[in-house]
Structure 1
Amino acid sequence: MIESGFIESDERKQLRTAVAELAAGYGPDYVRQQVKAGQPLRELWAEAGRLGFIGVNIPEEYGGGGAGIYELSLVMEEFSAQSAGMLMMVVSPAIVGTIVSRFGTDEQKRRWLPGIADGSASIAFGITEPDAGSNSHRITTTARRDGGDWILNGRKVYISAVDEAAAVLVVGRTEDAKTGKLKPALFVVPTDTPGFEYVPIEMDLQIPDKQFSLFIDDVRLPGDALVGAEASEATGDGALLQLFAGLNPERIMGAASAVGMGRYALRRAAEYAKQRTVWKTPIGAHQGIAHPLAKNRIELELAKLMMQKAATLYDTGDDWGAAESANMAKYAAGEAAVSAVDNAVHTLGGNGLTAEYGLAPLLNASRIARVAPVSREMILNFVAQAGLGLPKSY
């Protein structure tokens, strides 16, 4: 059977079904209870890890499924379609798992990948800084040599699920990087390392993954904490490529999360519109209700196709082709999700704001897809430059 991003194999269909059944077994009520208690979806995460869903993209020799970002994005989409999306899925297996698998030493792979694969030792990802904003080329977290060790100093903000992580993959730069351009160095920092502190950020988002600020003060790391190559004249942009090897999957997974969220909202709206009867007619029979929902389905399916294209390109080794597609997918999915959630709430009227239907929290959560991990404006900048050849605007 021909397999592509558009025709899913029986194995991928079976994976979808299995993930959806697992997530549905927990359901929106479980998610709501965990969020209300300020707890992550710990039981779902653990079971998903045991079943091999979290590490589906990790090499088999380290306990993973040996598949690709396509399969991992499929897992993320189906979790989100059951209102059980977890940001750590984007971070630990997609970003960190990819970077360590591609660029880590044999020892780093043996140490970290099995835990990433089964979910028992997830790793968070620290790139965003208070003053850098979207300009990741201005990262100020620095690392300097001290004998055979590294000394790391800096600040990070909006780092997901650090309280659930065994370590954080921190993006910094070496102190001898003289230019303003990012010359990254990537370090695995265990969360119990002296000098490493994380503080929760109070958020109004009703999602299971907490956000944290990181304070990195004279953190001493062994030489083997460096993942991949340090940027230098010899490596050129090699270290930058290591970073973007994880950021393209991040955008694909962000798209998967948004598509799944939109599917959940649309399903709840369609179910309600078929049952809710006013003047002897289900409200779904009225074009004022039906057409916006139909438009949302079209937009979500188109975003999903671009997501599948991006994942297919990435898994076949076309990093540059995947970059533009991944950004397009993330943009399209974010816009589609926001619209789907808005129309779903509008379809239910007052019921759309009740806890019973679970749509109101998505009004905030869906906006994540527009602003993180990269804003839609920065995506438009990238597409204008990379896809249209227009001059840089910033």
Structure 2
Amino acid sequence: MTIFPHVFAESEERQELRRQVAKLAAKYGREWFTDKARAGDKTTDLWLEVAKNGYLGINIPEEHGGGGGGIGDIAAVCEELAAQGCPLLLMVVSPAICGTIISRFGTEEQKQRWLPGICDGTGTMAFAITEPDAGTNSHAITTTARRDGDGWVLTGQKIYISGVDEADHVLIVARAEDARTGRLKPCLFVVPTVAPGFEHRDIPMEIVSPEKQFTVFLDDVRLSDDHLVGDEDAGLEQLFAGLNPERIMAASFSTGLARFALGKAAAYAKERAVFGQPIGAHQAIAHPLAQSHIEVELARLMTQKAAALYDAGDDAGAGEAANMAKYAAAEAACDAVDRAVQTHGGNGITQEFGMAGLLVATRAGRIAPVSREMILNYVAMHSLGLPKSY
């Protein structure tokens, strides 16, 4: 049995990475982040500074402009940014999903073309898998890719795609016909956002975030063969090379927000006095916050395990752990923010104290990138060996 000591105690290098990212993000802070979001502005300054310091592409090989680290490193960056109130959703997408897939399966020419821009922040890439009628069932994707001479033609529609307006390219999951069986198989294509036939439409959201969601339309988008990433026959192996990091990053996103909310709640509970003593002295306040701290730390531990397994090349073990981490982190974050709002009382639903907006942000973690119900299905089937229920 392989043992990963750093699952339980992160290396000094990883801890220093966390400290430096937290220090950088603290220069901006939650107020700056929400002001940008409410004004319809972008957090490009923070994004580029993260990149300039080498953190944005820390998981990408050095020869392609990255830091040569692993998913555990980029997850730590994601978490620390969120813990300072500056969650960058596109970190989950551009370096972690797209960067990982291209690093593992792209040609050398594709790596040289797209990875440096992902690392330095000038070539952000979005990721598109979700469809209006497929929902959680990725096997029901209807976006198709058909051969046309020495290239491809993509047709279909995607929904809830993050940051298309900030991306130069979108890594799109389509389905191509297998010449041997006639069945459709998943394939991955890098599509320029300026390609003829590519359109995107903003989806109004309640969440306070500078990163918008879009519906994407593909109307006979023509691509040369070098926009296909990996082997067209590899199918799900290539797709899940990106989806397991996505779950790990989503977990870190959630635990970071939870830590931010708990920090604010604990500070308020020490300062706010009622009946002659701080409200934190009352167990009705102290115990829920303590419980959330325990839940968040447990979720962080599972996230570290998932990252360690993935970086060690254990895709099967990482799949189980990544799903569990994402589930645990989303649940812990929702509870932590709810308790933080309650700790603040009426102040918890004001813009001044900034707690209420986190309710929607953390609640999204129970839905995306995979719903908690589908994770429970996965664990029931693969961990417990129960019959398939869907």
Which category describes the TM-score, using the shorter chain as reference length? Answer: over 0.9
Is the Cα contact below 8 Å between 1:49 and 1:120 reproduced in 2?
no
Tell me which residue corresponds to 2:240: 244
**1:1-394 to 2 correspondences below 5 Å:** 4-176=6-178, 183-231=185-233, 238-394=234-390
For residues 279 and 179 of structure 1, the distance between their equivalents in structure 2, rounded to whole angstroms, comes to: 75
**Which structure 1 segments of 5+ residues have no match?**
232-237
Is the Cα contact below 8 Å between 1:167 and 1:190 reproduced in 2?
yes
Is the Cα contact below 8 Å between 1:137 and 1:180 reproduced in 2?
no
Amino acid at match of 1:392: K
Structure 1 residue 368, shift from structure 2 partner: 1.0
TM-score, normalised to structure 1's length?
0.96
Is the Cα contact below 8 Å between 1:94 and 1:246 reproduced in 2?
yes
| SS class of match (1:172) | strand
Is the Cα contact below 8 Å between 2:178 and 2:184 reproduced in 1?
no
For residues 180 and 86 of structure 1, the distance between their equivalents in structure 2, rounded to whole angstroms, comes to: 41
* Cα 1:42/1:180, change in 2 over 3 Å: farther
Structure 1 residue 40, shift from structure 2 partner: 2.4
Q: What percentage of residue pairs aligned between the two structures are identical? A: 62
Structure 1 residue 177, shift from structure 2 partner: 7.5
For residues 3 and 255 of structure 1, the distance between their equivalents in structure 2, rounded to whole angstroms, comes to: 20
For residues 60 and 21 of structure 2, the distance between their equivalents in structure 1, rounded to whole angstroms, comes to: 17
| SS class of match (2:206) | coil
Amino acid at match of 2:67: G
For residues 360 and 68 of structure 1, the distance between their equivalents in structure 2, rounded to whole angstroms, comes to: 34
Structure 1 residue 33, shift from structure 2 partner: 1.0
Amino acid at match of 1:160: S
| SS class of match (2:6) | coil
Is the Cα contact below 8 Å between 1:182 and 1:240 reproduced in 2?
no
For residues 260 and 177 of structure 1, the distance between their equivalents in structure 2, rounded to whole angstroms, comes to: 46
**Which structure 2 segments of 5+ residues have no match?**
none
For residues 222 and 184 of structure 2, the distance between their equivalents in structure 1, rounded to whole angstroms, comes to: 22
For residues 376 and 229 of structure 1, the distance between their equivalents in structure 2, rounded to whole angstroms, comes to: 31
Structure 1 residue 239, shift from structure 2 partner: 2.1
- What stretches of structure 1 move > 3 A for 4+ residues in a row? 175-182
Structure 1 residue 182, shift from structure 2 partner: 6.1
For residues 76 and 46 of structure 2, the distance between their equivalents in structure 1, rounded to whole angstroms, comes to: 16
For residues 208 and 260 of structure 1, the distance between their equivalents in structure 2, rounded to whole angstroms, comes to: 17
Task: After superposition, give the CA deviation of every residue in 1:207-226 in whole Å (9 maximum; x if it has no partner).
Answer: 12100000000000001110
For residues 320 and 92 of structure 1, the distance between their equivalents in structure 2, rounded to whole angstroms, comes to: 23
* Cα 1:102/1:359, change in 2 over 3 Å: same
TM-score, normalised to structure 2's length?
0.97
Structure 1 residue 180, shift from structure 2 partner: 10
Structure 1 residue 181, shift from structure 2 partner: 7.6
